[in-house]
Structure 1
Amino acid sequence: MSSEVSSAEPIRVVVIGGPTASGKSALAVDLAEDLGGTVINADSMQVYRELAIVTARPGAEDLARAPHRLYGFLGAAEVCSAALWRERALAEIHAAAAEGRVPILCGGTGLYLRALTHGLSEMPEVPPEVRAEARALHTRIGGAELRRRLAEGDPILAARLHDGDSQRLIRAWEVLQETGRPLSEWQEQPARVPEGMAFFTVTVLPERAALYRRCDLRFERMLEEGGLDEVRALMALNLDPALPSMKALGIPQIIDFLKEKISREECVRLAQRDTRRYAKRQMTWFRNQVHANLMVEKQYSERSDAKIFKNIRQFLLTGHN
């Protein structure tokens, strides 16, 4: 059965978004335990099997409290697009509803959440060999030259991207090679909005200084809990550095440390800096791009805000936001 087919009674879906280290995962598992829900991952790095520690994937205790889906379902050698994630997420939403459970989307990847709630334009299928050729070309000639070549066939998208945006450059190039049409043209097609679903969106946006402290502490804790060994195992796979999994927060710095290019202190400093910058971009995106039904402007802690639970229960009972 298609994930786009509507039903008389819409599936009520809870969406929890916010920056890294904001406590949204704790909120999701508390809600899932309280409401009989299934937590569905909406973080673009937590989809990779090999990145459990460095991406702070839910641990054994949380997994025991509620079902979790779409965590670690892809290998690090693969690329998870918004379209692929959306297809899997829609299937998991329907599966949760069929089991009488509340689907609870949780993550900080705004593109994924927008793709789910607002839909995506129809995109072409690109064979794996074409995708591999595009990655190999990028590795050989670099981002600046690939962007220059892309500009000849897709000047609109080339103007939007920068030389270091390897994932999007490669995607635009592979689509152009496979279809003969620029990706910017494909993106202008009408979006496929999911039918038969109602969404209640919560954004968790803590005070910035407190969030930054949590970002710093999270990276230090990740190192203590086995992050170095996890990255060593990732390096042993000899993957293309342009792959998304190789660019997850902290991984480039840890690789440089393990290769003895930088000290441990410099590794920590740079990784914490980049994590804070990423959290700041996430904060800006969720404030400006998401029309939340409920905004939580503080760090979420276990059952700290009865208002969240009350509003979500009302939505589940009545369908009203």
Structure 2
Amino acid sequence: MNKLINDPANVVSDALRGVAAAHPELRVDHEQHIVYRGDAPVRGKVGLISGGGSGHEPLHAGFVGPGMLDAACAGEIFTSPVPDQIVAATKAVDGGAGVLHIVKNYTGDVMNFEMAAEIAEAETGVAVTAVVTDDDVAVQDSLYTAGRRGVGVTVLLEKIAGAAADQGRPLDEVAAVARKVNANGRSMGVALTSCTVPAAGKPTFDLPDGQMEVGIGIHGEPGRRRVPTAPAAEIAEMLVGPILADLDFTGDSGVIAFVNGMGATPLLELYVVYHEVAAILGKAGIPIARSLVGPYITSLDMAGCSVTLLKADDDLLRLWDAPVRTPALRWGV
């Protein structure tokens, strides 16, 4: 195992110290492993919290700041944050307008966020609403979920809901926007290699040379099927086809098209895939309104990619275009 780490047991703590050093505009609670925007809580604004296991960077800590999240709770590698973390973050970002929890559909995440919401509401009276992302068309259930997994749509939802909150929309409206994003987004991914959890020191699953896993999750879960490695054009078809079969993406406003790297795939290859995705959508008569290409929800050192499509409308596009200032997404400022 060749990794740029010190002690595998301390990799999350060490990384958060790096976040704090690199981004002094953020506030990091090193004891609780929580990253806050520096001006939280913002009075009169709905607070947005997300979180999950570490190893998916920049999700979630890289999306903390104006226009996105108010706080991110970092669990251990591929492990949900615990309720105490989420309760502390909920209390800390409550500016009087309530708090939205953005939760990926993994069993531990859902359970711990639900427990934390109940505790925070009982102790402080803060209004908490949760929106669960479940956009992965590859499976109905996996090793980690009951139902579809929350994957790439989570990034788009955090951006769009964050913009709605920064506009001063009330909690019920911000939650409604978040639910609309989740309902109108679909994703699917492929792995060319497994990933290696530092504490384990070996690949999570065996993937021989010349083979790839289609329909993988972000924790190194095996995919829908294993097939021979194919050219990018064929891989794009394998990913986009099931997405288009699952939801009608036609419409005048088009889609936000997101090609995501799983951690070890260079941008050169992601743009090759994006070109193929754009060609498939063009043939299907689906216009691309906005695009995002890069490693934004990763699986440590896994090679591969995922494709996310979000059916857009005028409001969602305005919220997508709104200013954002975070370590991993930044425009309009």
Larger Rg: 1
TM-score w.r.t. length of structure 1: 0.31
Structure with the greater relative contact order (CA < 8 A, sep ≥ 6): 1 or 2?
1
Of Structure 1 and Structure 2, the greater helix share is in 1
TM-score w.r.t. length of structure 2: 0.30
